[in-house]
A and B are shown apart, each in its own frame.
Chain A
Amino acid sequence: MIKQILELHSFRGWFLTFGLLFAAIFLLPVLNIFISEESFFHIPDYMFPLLGKYLCYAIVALAVDLIWGYTGILSLGHGVFFSIGGYAMGMYLMRSIGDEGVYKSDLPDFMVFLDWKELPWYWYGFDFFSFTLLVIFLLPGVFAFIFGYFAFRSRIKGVYFAIITQAMTYALMLLFFRNNTGFGGNNGLTDFKRILGYSLQDPSTKMGLFVITVLVLFLSYVLSRYIVKSKLGRVLTAIRDVENRVMFSGYNTLNYKLFIWTVSAFLCGLAGALYVPQVGIINPSEMQPANSIEMAIWVAVGGRGTLVGALLGAGLVNVAKSWFTVAAPDYWLYFLGFLFIVVTLFLPKGFIGIFDRFTPRNNNRDVTND
């Protein structure tokens, strides 16, 4: 097992991966704490939640790439899994506020506002972090499994599948918008105070959350890499290319699709859960159809079917988005559309494809590892 994991990368690949990991976990905090604020190399406190947010998006990009880039199943509903993870974490954070809300009640503020007298049953358990973690780990996957089982069993494919995932995210968004669904309506969950007793305003908490996000991203990457480098990964790309052939070779493709779909939703849920404490809010707009489409665009821009491409895409698009929404907010959507067209027309393999162009890859790549 360990040998298999070590073989996932060449020495250079691992060196680079661990270099980045080290830089994120040690170098950035050191630059924040020990370098004076006037220095060019100082990392200000506000950078950590911002970078943390990007890293959450990077996890989402890995998830979307596994199902779309590798297996050829385009999902335009991954915002749902992200939101399930996010809402679960949000509910825990709401309960951690205690009676320090505006209304000084034990109930979350929005419930007091709606004149609710007691906690709805589905909020039970979110007082406990362990229960919340369990929900974050299981619920997105279970939900995806059920949805996927019916969709894949009916052999819904391609654009039809994409459309029903859009419908799924839209339906859930409408559900969460309603006040009496019990998740804060269109305001969502916000005004969080602390996580596990640590104040969310505290710079060290922010740094801690950032470091945890880095570690989760790293593990997600290793897991994804393990999957795509295994025979299972080759079966997935084979399903993408000619599913019939895979079936006639004796594989139950339903199980394979269901497996990767569930793993993808699981990773997305983790990302959502990490996103909420760092951004400070979760509301139904995360389930807007456009949000899920944007996730697919990150992967298309970076490069489908390569994990590094997905990470790169999530980074590039979101940094551009942060810049645009400050400098020229009205033009962001135009730019995004433009970017998508350029990539589709000129860079079918995404930005990562540019590197391939300059370093023509040898077709005799060694796969047997002898």
Chain B
Amino acid sequence: MPSSTANPKASPPQIIIKKTTLDDLIQALQREGYQVIGPVLEQEAIVYRPVTQLKDLALGWIDVQEAGSYRLERDEAQRFFAFTVGPQSWKAYLFPPREEIWKARRENGRILMEEPETPPRLAFLGVRACELAAIHVQDRIFLQGPYVQPRYARRREAVFIIAVQCTRAGNTCFCVSMGTGPHVREGYDLALTELEDTFLVHIGSEKGAALMAEIPHREATQEEVAEATRRVDAAAASMGRTMDTTELPELMRQSLESPHWEEVGKRCLACANCTLVCPTCFCFTLEDVTDLTGQEAVRVRLWDSCFNQEFTYTAGRPIRVSIASRYRQWLTHKLGWWVEQFGVLGCVGCGRCITWCPVGIDLTAEVQTLRHMYGRASSPATVSR
């Protein structure tokens, strides 16, 4: 985990590398023993996959997102990071959708436990501000309670983070409202801003500085720094969505018995897409399976969703029977109870749940409706994090 800030003498905090030099960075990370994960094109979407060289990255694509729709178009400017966020988030690597957490074997009347292999050291290339915020939300969940999730802790400790400043906002983005972006401010080892032929690199940690020492670079000019800021400011000014976060937990509490949940429940398919694409949703189930001989048992952790009916099975009966109650649970958790539980909102404004909802349910619109119903229409404001 990036903990200390860079020593400014070792290398200036803001430097310039050529775009092709990004390949050197990938190579250097691999030499350090990292598996690099970056944005690639797969099944007409930008997803995060292992990459070994610059040309694995999805170069020259722009995503066009709307409620219930996602489409890629060619980027005339041939940029590396002109798209925003896709269906997947880094959650898939820190908290994998399916993971063996232990194995047990019967032997001579005893049961022997086996721990799974140590997870690989990963380097994330292209983490956006909202995604960094989401990682910090999950850190609070998995690392800061009375208990710690050991597998998450190991992956998290080892990870190297190369953030990317968004220079374009999507139509379902609202990180500005949530106070999470688009400016990447902390929690990274390196942060890139894509310029015309170069990347401006902010160094965020000792680890980042050490890595950059090996890479050809030059000091950034004031103009380049200003240009980078301008580009991110432009993204901030073009958010496709907004959400008024004034007293959201209070609004959620007041809305608990609102008839509006029934109305959303009629549209919602309970498909669980929103929870799968959400970078902060953390619910999981544990499955215990045995091999055919019954001598070996494995516990597998799998992402689960509060939209599944079995989620609340208590002594064989679901408690949240209606879809309305499940949507209410999801939204009141994200925007209400989460604050009581973890001290932050559970939404970072990435907009994935809006884009990937097959019927286009838009939480920013639902919040607006609830505000009108419960008289908390308000001035534009952002939550302080």
Q: Do A and B actually bind?
A: no
